[in-house]
Chains A and B, each alone.
Chain A
């Protein structure tokens, strides 16, 4: 009898944990939808912005494009309430580009490139073109980095560290053999990335806020 009562409550407890999601899902979806409704922006605005962000970041680091998560949310205040709207971006790093690591001179060059491209007017076709160029570059760079990886592997295979914060050492690891370890590191980095994002959030957030105010005034 007593056991059945406990089981009953356990069941309710379980349900609670599983289905908290439906309420939170509704809340999250509403946040986004209301923000879009209020600002009167189209749904593909976020996609366009996401594409451009990826293009820029890809110049410096290899990122996992499928795992990128860019969305508008409300920043959580310290007391747990929802605060100002914020642009949230979680971008898992695969590796940092060789050319970026090797020299500051090159970095400066890419910076120049970067500013040039950002000056151009955003156009869907243009983005697509850029993407093609980018993907060709990507391939060549990847083959380069693989060669280097292999070399470094020979040298440093013996003194591997499972959880290393340095991105350089992550490259050394063999993809197949140490998938699990890599995932751990990746997660760790995602967290780091998150923190960075949080720190960097303030500026775009203000912009967002200003934008929102503008549109509401209209």
Chain B
């Protein structure tokens, strides 16, 4: 039986889709059979982030309405051994799917896959309810911004009042230089505020933009610091007990020099 993990945030634009794509790719690189499900009906984007937009024939609504078989709608990502995408419909809205249908869908996927990652839409309405309906685990993505953290807190509350306990946290787009100058909230501050377990920290990285431009996950680029962060997150998701690397906290010569001058 596979595990269903919903990637959620409350606020839009914090990197749910990017996280879903890259965590999925990273898990597939670890030899797991992974399905990515885009539940952002009407505003689908996981397909373009993955670079699979030209291969869509059927979507999640077609599956739910039984216009096609689940297998027909799943798009195989040829760059990875066992990575599949179930795209969202673009011409429908969130009401096209209900929670019961999502539970049925994830139950079917669980039989075949090790990990099912669900890309949740922004907001706390029907789309969110659908996305979490079939999930047994949740990863909350936030940035160090006040609005994202507030929304994450709200989402955590909603998750905990649903059946999903112990959501995990990814702090995305951290700018180590700003943290060092005291202009951005520290990872520790965010974890303190939200008081859930930290599963990874992804640095703000231009590679995310360039890789997404090409429709490739950033984990395929070995130079990208964000890609490394996602690979580490995948290992922690798999249950490895490794310490979370916080960008900007490495102990280099410059770090020591800067500390000497009181720049933390």
Please choose the segment from B25-33, B41-49, B185-193, B214-222 that sits at the chain A interface, where 4 or more of its residues have CB less than 8 A away. Answer: B185-193
Residue B146 contacts which of A9, A16, A26, A81 (CB distance < 8 angstroms)?
Answer: A26
Query: Count of chain A residues with Cβ under 8 Å from any Cβ of B?
Result: 22
User: Bound complex: CA of A34 vs CA of B182, how far in Å?
Assistant: 21
B137 at the interface (CB under 8 A from A): no
Is A30 positioned at the interface, with any CB of B under 8 Å from its CB? yes
Closest Cβ–Cβ distance, residue B264 to chain A (whole Å): 8
Q: Does A15 contact B (CB under 8 A)?
A: yes
State whether the Cβ of B254 lies closer than 8 Å to any Cβ in chain A. Answer: no
Contact A13 B262 (CB under 8 A): yes
Question: Hey, what's the 0/1 contact readout for A160-178 against B, CB within 8 Å counting as 1?
Answer: 0000000000000000000
| Contact A34:B263 (CB < 8 A) given known A22-B183, A23-B183 | no
Rounded to whole Å, the gap between the CB of B246 and the closest CB of chain A is 15
A33 to B192, CA, bound (A): 14
Q: Which listed residue, B150, B182, B186, touches A33 by the CB 8 Å rule?
A: B150
Interface residues of A in 7-40 (CB under 8 A from B): 9, 12-13, 15-16, 19-24, 26-27, 29-31, 33-34, 37-38
Question: Is the CB of A82 closer than 8 A to any CB of chain B?
Answer: yes
Whether the Cβ atoms of B193 and A34 lie closer than 8 Å is: yes
Task: Tell me the complex Cα distance, A111–B182, Å.
Answer: 49
B263 touching A31 by the CB < 8 A rule? no
- In the bound complex, what is the Cα–Cα distance between A19 and B183 (angstroms)? 6
Measured between beta carbons, the chain B residues less than 8 angstroms from A12 are 181, 261, 263
In the complex, the number of residue pairs spanning A and B with C-beta atoms less than 8 Å apart equals 52
A29 to B185, CA, bound (A): 12
Q: Is the CB of B146 within 8 A of A30?
A: yes
Q: How far is the CA of A26 from the CA of B190 in the complex (A)?
A: 11
Q: For residues 158 through 200 of chain A, which have their beta carbon under 8 Å from a beta carbon of chain B?
A: none
**Chain A residue with Cβ nearest B264:** A16
Do residues A34 and B185 form an inter-chain contact, with CB atoms below 8 A? Answer: no
Q: Are A19 and B181 in contact (CB under 8 A)?
A: yes
A109–B192 Cα gap in the complex (Å)? 47
Main SS of chain A's interface residues? Answer: helix
Query: What residue of chain A has the Cβ atom nearest to residue B149's Cβ?
Result: A30
Expressed in whole angstroms, the Cα–Cα distance for A19 and B262 within the complex equals: 14
Interface centre among B150, B182, B261 (most CB of A within 10 A): B182
Cross-chain contact B263 with A27 (CB below 8 angstroms): no
Contact B181 A37 (CB under 8 A): no
A contact residues around B264 at 8 Å (CB): 16
Roughly how many angstroms separate A24 CA and B154 CA in the complex, as a whole number?
21
Point out the residues of chain B lying under 8 angstroms from A15, CB to CB: 181
Nearest-Cβ distance from residue A141 to partner chain B, whole angstroms: 44
Is the Cβ of B183 less than 8 Å from the Cβ of A38? no
Task: Report B153 CB to chain A, min CB distance, Å.
Answer: 5
In angstroms, Cα B186 to Cα A9, docked, is 22
The residue of chain B having its C-beta at the shortest distance from the C-beta of A10 within the complex is: B261
Taken together as a complex, chains A and B put the C-alpha atoms of A132 and B193 apart, in Å, by 41
List chain A residues, Cβ under 8 A from B186: 23
Asked whether B184 is an interface residue with its Cβ less than 8 Å from the other chain, the reply is yes
Q: Are B185 and A23 within 8 A (Cβ)? A: yes
CB-defined interface of B162-202 with A at 8 Å, one 1/0 digit per residue? 00000000000000000001111110010011000000000
Q: Is the CB of B185 within 8 A of A26?
A: yes
B193 touches A16 (CB 8 A): no
Interface residues of B in 129-163 (CB under 8 A from A): 146, 149-150, 153-154, 157
Q: A82 contacts B192, CB within 8 Å?
A: yes
* Residues of the B chain whose Cβ atoms lie less than 8 Å from the Cβ of A9: 261
B181 near A34 (CB under 8 angstroms)? no
Which residues of chain B are within 8 angstroms of A33 by Cβ–Cβ distance? 146, 150
Contact of A38 among B153, B182, B184, B262 (CB under 8 A): B153
CB-defined A-B contacts under 8 Å, sample of 5: A12-B261, A20-B182, A24-B182, A27-B185, A27-B193
Given A23-B185, A26-B185, A27-B193, 16 additional A-B pairs, CB 8 A: A13-B261, A13-B263, A16-B182, A16-B263, A19-B183, A21-B182, A23-B186, A23-B189, A30-B193, A33-B150, A37-B150, A37-B154, A37-B157, A38-B153, A81-B192, A82-B192
Q: Which residues of B are interface residues toward A (Cβ below 8 A)?
A: 146, 149-150, 153-154, 157, 181-186, 189, 192-193, 261-264
Q: What are the 5 closest A-B residue pairs judged by CB atoms, nearest first?
A: A20-B182, A9-B261, A23-B182, A26-B146, A34-B153
